[in-house]
């Protein structure tokens, strides 16, 4: 479905791209086949670092292979654990966090992100974000769990303190089949008195 306004993943990339720079720290919360992890590694450069998570060992293996082929394995740490555990594994503040929810393309649709763990993960990500850092979440309401994730994430984002965070949603209003939506959160700079 080609459209002039592009898609949720494209909008997320625009937000993330603006936040990253050589030497930056980033988290790929859903590494999948590693396309996004590789792209983040390119953006943070040789001196940067990407932390990537997935619960499927198949995803970790595909991503490791992709990074190795590109000669970028040194820039990333890959964790075969759920993103809801990111506070146990990432011990420094980050400039950007990317979530691309749903299931691993080309694999069993049975393994998809789940509302309860997604909510724990986005809360953890807020803790890790530096001031003025961003998080993007691509949500797929076209399937049952994705629809539950959307409802819960909108409630969660709507409840964030407006003095500390900006929360923005971008989505099509006139396309069939519940197209993906892009939620972006930015942590504000705290003004010194
Ligand atoms: N960004 C990926 C890429 O570039 O190929 C695609 C991600 S795919 C849409 C979503 C991924 O989330 C799947 O690989 C799935 O295994 C993973 N996932 C499901 N539950 C998870 C969890 N609790 N923590 C981390 N990843 C999870």
Q: How far is the CA of 155 from the centre of ligand 1 (A)?
A: 22
Ligand 1: which atom is nearest the Cα of residue 37? 4
Beta bridge partners of 139: 181
Please tell me what DSSP assigns to residue 97: E
pLDDT score recorded for residue 99: 98
**Closest ligand 1 atom to the C-alpha of 83?**
24
Which residue owns the Cα nearest ligand 1 atom 6? 32
Residue 23, sorted as left (phi over 0), alpha (psi -120 to 50) or beta, turns out to be left
Three-class DSSP category at 185: strand
Per-residue pLDDT tens listing for the chain (193 residues): 567 899 999 999 999 999 999 999 999 999 999 999 999 999 999 999 999 999 999 999 999 999 999 999 999 999 999 999 999 999 999 999 999 999 987 776 779 999 999 999 999 999 999 999 999 999 999 999 999 999 999 999 999 999 999 999 999 999 999 999 999 999 999 887 7
Model confidence, pTM: 0.97
Non-local (6+) Cβ contacts of 73 within 8 A are 64, 67
Is the minimum distance from the CB of 51 to ligand 1 under 6 angstroms? no
End-to-end Cα spacing for the chain:
50
54 ligand 1 Cβ < 6 A: yes
């Amino acid at each position: 479905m080609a459209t002039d306004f592009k898609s949720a993943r494209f909008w997320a990339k625009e937000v993330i791209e603006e936040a990253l720079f050589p030497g930056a720290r980033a988290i790929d919360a859903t590494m999948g086949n590693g396309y996004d992890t590789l792209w983040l590694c390119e953006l943070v450069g040789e001196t940067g670092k990407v932390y990537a998570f997935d619960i499927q060992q198949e995803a970790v293996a595909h991503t490791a292979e992709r990074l190795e082929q590109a000669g970028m394995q040194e820039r990333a740490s890959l964790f075969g654990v759920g993103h809801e555990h990111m506070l146990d594994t990432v011990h420094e503040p980050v400039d950007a966090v990317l979530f691309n929810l749903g299931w691993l393309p080309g694999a069993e649709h049975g393994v998809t992100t789940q509302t309860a763990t997604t909510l724990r993960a986005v809360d953890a990500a807020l803790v890790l974000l530096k001031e003025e850092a961003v998080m993007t979440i691509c949500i797929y309401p076209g399937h049952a769990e994705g629809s539950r994730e959307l409802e819960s994430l909108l409630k969660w984002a709507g409840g964030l303190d407006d003095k500390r965070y900006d929360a923005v949603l971008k989505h099509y209003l006139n396309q069939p089949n519940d197209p993906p939506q892009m939620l972006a959160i930015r942590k504000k700079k705290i003004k010194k008195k």
